């Protein structure tokens, strides 16, 4: 949740249209999976999408969620943030925007800022390849993490007695 109704409807309409043009079938599962990502501001990972969709379609399988999310990305309907392997997180916001990312728990939030949308590309960078887009990533510690002893999110190496034990990464709220 978090995306207003009008925007969500626009995203759904775009999905239907794109799917039709691409000759991709509009199944119940796909619709619900897309709806979940498109209505969220959480940049959910696969697991979170799966649980949410499962609440509505109890028989949906995890691999369908994987396949569908990558298909949506192929169609250009969502983008990923973060890695290309490992835990990917999805973003249905196609407008130019930027991210706040918590370096402890991984929480991610969009924000828009016109001034950041038009940063030039330094000449030295052009040699690396063809630029697709530019995003500003503001890294910090989110409120929940700075408040709580919410624990760490990555392995503590050579953990000493007093240290907090690793807990399964809470569901990116």
Partner DNA sequence: CTGACTGCAAACCCTTTGCAGACCG
Partner DNA sequence: CGGTCTGCAAAGGGTTTGCAGTCAG
Is residue 124 a contact residue for a copy of itself (CB under 8 A)? yes
Supply the minimum distance, in Å, between the C-beta of residue 89 and DNA. Answer: 9
C-alpha pair distances (Å), 28 with each of 18, 21, 102:
16, 18, 34
Which residue in the set 94, 146, 164, 167 belongs to the binding site for a copy of itself (CB under 8 A)?
A: 146
Would you say 19 and 75 are in contact if contact means Cβ atoms under 8 Å apart? yes
H/E run at residue 89? strand 89-91
Which residue in the set 113, 164, 167, 171 belongs to the binding site for a copy of itself (CB under 8 A)?
A: 113
Supply the minimum distance, in Å, between the C-beta of residue 51 and DNA. Answer: 11
Is residue 11 a contact residue for DNA (CB under 7 A)? no
**What part of residues 77-106 is at the interface with a copy of itself (CB under 8 A)?**
82-88, 100, 102-106
CB nearer to a copy of itself: give 1 or 125: 125
- How many Å apart are CA 50 and CA 62, to the nearest integer? 6
- CA nearest to 67, candidates 50, 81, 82, 52: 50
Which residue in the set 26, 55, 94, 141 belongs to the binding site for a copy of itself (CB under 8 A)?
A: 141
- CA nearest to 88, candidates 48, 39, 35, 121: 48
End-to-end CA distance of the chain: 11
- How many Å apart are CA 38 and CA 5, to the nearest integer? 11
Binding site partner of 95, from a copy of itself, DNA, none, Cβ cut-off 5-8 A by kind: none
Q: Which stretch binds DNA (CB under 7 A): 23-31, 35-43, 107-115, 130-138?
A: 23-31
**What part of residues 78-97 is at the interface with DNA (CB under 7 A)?**
85-88
**What part of residues 41-80 is at the interface with DNA (CB under 7 A)?**
45-47, 57, 59-64, 66-68, 70
Task: Write out the DSSP string of 144-164.
Answer: HHHHS----SSPPTT--TTSP
Is residue 136 a contact residue for a copy of itself (CB under 8 A)? yes
């Amino acid at each position: 949740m978090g995306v207003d109704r009008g925007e969500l409807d626009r995203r759904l309409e775009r999905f239907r249209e794109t799917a039709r043009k691409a000759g991709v079938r509009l199944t119940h599962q796909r619709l619900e999976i897309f709806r979940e990502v498109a209505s969220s501001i959480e940049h959910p990972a696969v697991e979170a999408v799966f649980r949410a969709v499962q609440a509505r379609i109890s028989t949906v399988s995890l691999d369908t969620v994987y396949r569908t999310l990558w298909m949506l990305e192929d169609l250009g309907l969502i983008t990923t943030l973060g890695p290309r392997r490992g835990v990917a997180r999805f973003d249905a916001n196609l407008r130019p925007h930027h991210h706040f990312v918590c370096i402890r728990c991984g929480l991610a939030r969009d924000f828009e800022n016109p001034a950041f949308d038009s940063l030039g590309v330094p000449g030295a960078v052009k040699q690396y390849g063809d630029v697709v887009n530019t995003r500003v990533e503001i890294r910090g510690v989110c409120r929940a993490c700075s408040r709580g002893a919410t624990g760490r999110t990555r392995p503590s190496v050579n953990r000493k007695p007093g240290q907090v034990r690793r807990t399964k990464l809470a569901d990116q709220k």
